[in-house]
């Protein structure tokens, strides 16, 4: 299930990150506790009332003068806006309106997403209304005075915001597995798609997806339905122009977010590239199941070491091969192409699998018996009281401990390895949340 996205836009220093942190609230601590998640993550889970959504901060840009940073902000903002259901333009009520605010607003006015204006740094409610008033002229509707630091005014803004969000789409199509085929241009994505589709032409029906201009393709094998995400993006031939790569990687990010399972396609002749690593990072961050498809295997001159060498390269360059299946295929000859869908099915099942609390605690007890948590120099030791799986897709296990800081990365990895060895979860990332009791 993918949550609606809210893009936070504005020039530097208006308080975007402060605002995002406030929206993400309690969850931030947890997010940072997840192993394997990059620290500078820009997508954060947030909720208001009973509505969940994802906030994306377009910040992190530091430039000194307006003329230089505007195009950059716009590019960031465009990327964030591409898949957002709503946007919040943050401006600085204390400083007042600037030409950059006006320029950003002018651009936002022609976008198709609903936009709200948050006039930040309005600590005093009365004065806030006055400070906010001048931002009516941005032409984006009522400006909301808020204080990201103290939280004043954010309630009204969020009430309005959730009225713009689409209803949480709970998977009515749960029997369908959503698959994203991603990878650099020319690795063979469209050829793979054709190979899947060619088999059973009759039931292929491209229908419009939920996102504008994303076309999904439906296929079926042995009674299992698969929805291949954004096949328009796969088929579209790259017309060379400025920024193509930027948009294609964004398109891939978007497809990843809509999928259950990602087919990460790598060209056997090129091996793993930097862009593949970037895509891999995003797959883990978004918690999607994944299968690594090394395509064009027919074109590789092989001897008995070749597969071994490839696997070694993958392991070194993509840190998640510990759990993702790797398959060597040829879209050209059809070799092992059908096997991909079998792996997809297994990965999707594992991604959604639930393990009982008693089993989790058996694994924990065993793990603790073999290797007890580290003791600090002052004699304090980490204690794990119990664990339970709090959610699926990806499987997420909360561990209730005395103090999460007592557990170093090594120990965390050890526990994660134990879960993997005992519980499997082949094909899906798993998350451990270390929650301090005190
Ligand atoms: P960003 O660059 O837009 O992400 O801005 P930051 O969140 O980093 O904030 C920029 C500065 O504005 C920091 O010094 C914050 O402490 C300050 N700031 C953020 N929100 C508020 C607020 O609600 N009131 C006041 N007075 N200052 C704020
Ligand atoms: P995309 O840009 O990732 O969609 O890649 P395409 O499917 O358009 O393939 C790019 C080129 O690689 C085309 O010339 C294909 O014929 C070729 N190709 C794709 N898959 C294979 C394969 O398995 N083996 C070989 N030898 N060539 C392939």
- Which residue, among 147, 136, 21, has the nearest Cα to 92 in the 3D structure? 147
CATH topology of domain 176-351: Rossmann fold (3.40.50)
Query: Atom 19 in ligand 2: which residue has the minimum CA distance?
Result: 188
* Binding site membership of 238 for ligand 2 (Cβ less than 6 Å): no
pLDDT attached to residue 121: 95
Tokens of 228: 């291949």
* Binding site membership of 187 for ligand 2 (Cβ less than 6 Å): yes
Q: What is the mean pLDDT of residues 28-39?
A: 33
Least confident of 58-72, 87-101, 281-295, 375-389: 58-72
- Which residue, among 292, 313, 310, 311, has the nearest Cα to 301 in the 3D structure? 310
- Point out the annotated binding site: 10-17, 57-61, 120-123, 183-190, 230-234, 295-298
Query: Atom 20 in ligand 2: which residue has the minimum CA distance?
Result: 188
Residue 386 has pLDDT above 70, yes or no: yes
* Binding site membership of 231 for ligand 2 (Cβ less than 6 Å): no
Say how many Å lie between the CA of residue 10 and the centre of ligand 1: 12
How does strand 261-267 pair with strand 289-295?
A: parallel
> Could you report the per-residue pLDDT of 297-342, keeping only the tens digit for each?
999 988 877 888 888 888 888 876 679 999 999 999 999 999 999 9
> Could you report the per-residue pLDDT of 113-152, keeping only the tens digit for each?
999 999 999 998 888 888 999 999 999 999 999 999 888 8
Say how many Å lie between the CA of residue 186 and the centre of ligand 2: 6
Are residues 384 and 342 in contact, defined by beta-carbon separation less than 8 angstroms? Answer: no
Element (H, E) at 431: strand 431-436
* Binding site membership of 186 for ligand 2 (Cβ less than 6 Å): yes
Candidates 12, 13, 119: which one to mutate for ligand 1, based on the most atoms within 8 Å of Cβ? 13
Least confident of 114-128, 201-215, 235-249, 380-394: 201-215
- Point out the annotated binding site for GTP: 10-17, 57-61, 120-123, 183-190, 230-234, 295-298
| DSSP state string for 271-288 | ---HHHHHHHHHHHHHT-
Element (H, E) at 208: strand 207-208
Domain boundary assignment for the chain: 5-164, 176-351, 357-436
pLDDT attached to residue 342: 95
pLDDT attached to residue 242: 45
Cβ neighbours of 392 (radius 10 Å): 14
> Could you report the per-residue pLDDT of 146-155, keeping only the tens digit for each?
999 888 899 8
Q: What is the mean pLDDT of residues 202-219?
A: 48
Residue 215 has pLDDT above 80, yes or no: no
Mean pLDDT of the chain: 81
pLDDT attached to residue 274: 87
Burial of 407 (0-12, 13-18, 19+ CB in 10 A): buried
Q: Tell me whether the CATH fold assigned to 5-164 matches the one assigned to 357-436.
A: no
Q: Which CATH number applies to 357-436?
A: 3.30.300.20
Name the pLDDT band for 26 (thresholds 50, 70, 90).
very low
pLDDT attached to residue 201: 39
pLDDT attached to residue 320: 65
Q: What is the mean pLDDT of residues 379-391?
A: 89
Backbone φ and ψ of 339, nearest 5°? -65, -30
Residues with CB under 6 A from ligand 1: 10, 12-18, 59, 120-121, 123, 147-149
Structure-token match 């309106």, residue found: 97
Least distant ligand from the CA of 194: 2
Query: Atom 25 in ligand 1: which residue has the minimum CA distance?
Result: 121
Burial of 71 (0-12, 13-18, 19+ CB in 10 A): exposed
pLDDT attached to residue 214: 47
Name the pLDDT band for 205 (thresholds 50, 70, 90).
very low
Name the pLDDT band for 75 (thresholds 50, 70, 90).
low
Q: What is the mean pLDDT of residues 346-358?
A: 94
Element (H, E) at 189: helix 189-199
Residue 58 has pLDDT above 80, yes or no: no
pLDDT attached to residue 72: 61
Strand ordering across the sheet containing 384-391: 384-391, 396-401, 431-436
* Binding site membership of 171 for ligand 2 (Cβ less than 6 Å): no
Say how many Å lie between the CA of residue 385 and the centre of ligand 2: 52
pLDDT attached to residue 207: 39
Q: Is 45 helix (H, G, I), strand (E, B) or coil?
A: strand
pLDDT attached to residue 168: 55
Say how many Å lie between the CA of residue 82 and the centre of ligand 2: 28
Name the pLDDT band for 171 (thresholds 50, 70, 90).
very low
Say how many Å lie between the CA of residue 330 and the centre of ligand 2: 9
Query: Atom 15 in ligand 2: which residue has the minimum CA distance?
Result: 188
Rounded to whole angstroms, how far apart are CA atoms 392 and 1? 11
* Binding site membership of 330 for ligand 2 (Cβ less than 6 Å): yes
Matching CATH number, 5-164, of 3.40.50.450, 3.40.50.300, 3.40.50.10680, 3.90.870.10 = 3.40.50.300
Chain centroid to CA 199: how far?
A: 32
Say how many Å lie between the CA of residue 13 and the centre of ligand 1: 6
Q: What is the Cα Rg of the chain in Å?
A: 24
* Binding site membership of 189 for ligand 2 (Cβ less than 6 Å): yes
Say how many Å lie between the CA of residue 278 and the centre of ligand 1: 30
pLDDT attached to residue 232: 67
Q: What is the mean pLDDT of residues 272-292?
A: 90
Say how many Å lie between the CA of residue 228 and the centre of ligand 2: 18
pLDDT attached to residue 413: 92
pLDDT attached to residue 241: 46
Say how many Å lie between the CA of residue 78 and the centre of ligand 1: 22
Are residues 380 and 394 in contact, defined by beta-carbon separation less than 8 angstroms? Answer: no
Candidates 7, 9, 15: which one to mutate for ligand 1, based on the most atoms within 8 Å of Cβ? 15
Chain centroid to CA 188: how far?
A: 24
Name the pLDDT band for 405 (thresholds 50, 70, 90).
confident
Candidates 191, 217, 240, 263: which one to mutate for ligand 2, based on the most atoms within 8 Å of Cβ? 191
Rounded to whole angstroms, how far apart are CA atoms 3 and 27? 15
**pLDDT more than 70, % of the chain:** 81
Rounded to whole angstroms, how far apart are CA atoms 394 and 381? 30
């Amino acid at each position: 299930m993918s949550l609606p996205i809210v893009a936070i836009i504005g020039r530097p220093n208006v308080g975007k990150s402060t605002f995002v942190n406030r929206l993400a609230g309690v969850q931030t601590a947890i997010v940072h506790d997840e192993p394997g998640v990059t620290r500078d993550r820009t997508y954060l889970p947030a909720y208001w009332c009973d509505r969940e959504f994802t906030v994306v901060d377009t910040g992190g840009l530091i430039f000194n003068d307006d003329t230089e940073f505007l195009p950059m902000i716009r590019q960031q903002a465009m990327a964030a806006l591409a898949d957002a259901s709503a946007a919040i333009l943050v401006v600085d009520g204390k400083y007042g309106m600037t030409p950059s605010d006006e320029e950003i607003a002018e651009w936002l006015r022609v976008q198709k997403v609903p936009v709200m204006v948050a006039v930040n740094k309005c600590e005093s409610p009365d004065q806030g209304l006055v400070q906010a008033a001048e931002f009516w002229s941005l032409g984006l509707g009522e400006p909301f005075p808020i204080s990201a630091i103290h939280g004043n005014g954010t309630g009204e803004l969020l009430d309005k915001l959730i009225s713009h969000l689409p209803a949480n789409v709970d998977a009515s199509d749960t029997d369908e597995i959503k698959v994203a085929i991603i990878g650099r241009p020319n690795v063979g994505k469209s050829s793979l798609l054709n190979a899947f589709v060619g088999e059973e032409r009759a039931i292929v029906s491209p229908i419009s997806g939920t996102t504008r201009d994303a076309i999904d393709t439906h296929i079926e094998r042995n009674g299992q339905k698969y929805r291949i995400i954004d096949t328009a993006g796969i088929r579209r031939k790259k017309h060379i122009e400025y920024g193509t790569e930027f948009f294609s990687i964004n398109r891939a990010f978007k497809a990843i977010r809509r999928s259950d399972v990602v087919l990460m396609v790598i060209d056997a002749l090129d091996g793993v590239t930097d862009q593949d690593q970037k895509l891999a990072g995003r797959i883990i961050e978004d918690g999607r199941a994944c299968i690594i498809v090394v395509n064009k295997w027919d074109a590789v001159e092989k001897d008995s070491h070749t597969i071994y060498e490839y696997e070694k390269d993958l392991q070194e360059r993509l840190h998640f091969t510990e759990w993702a299946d790797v398959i060597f295929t040829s879209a050209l000859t059809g070799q092992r192409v059908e096997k991909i869908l079998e792996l997809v099915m297994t990965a999707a099942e594992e991604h959604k699998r639930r393990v009982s609390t008693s089993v989790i605690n058996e694994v924990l007890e065993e793990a603790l018996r073999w290797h007890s948590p580290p003791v600090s120099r002052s004699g304090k030791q980490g204690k794990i009281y119990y664990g339970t799986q709090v959610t699926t897709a990806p499987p997420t296990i909360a561990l209730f401990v005395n103090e999460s800081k007592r557990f170093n990365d090594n120990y965390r990895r050890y526990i994660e390895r134990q879960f993997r060895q005992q519980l499997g979860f082949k094909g899906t990332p798993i998350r451990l949340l270390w929650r301090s009791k005190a």
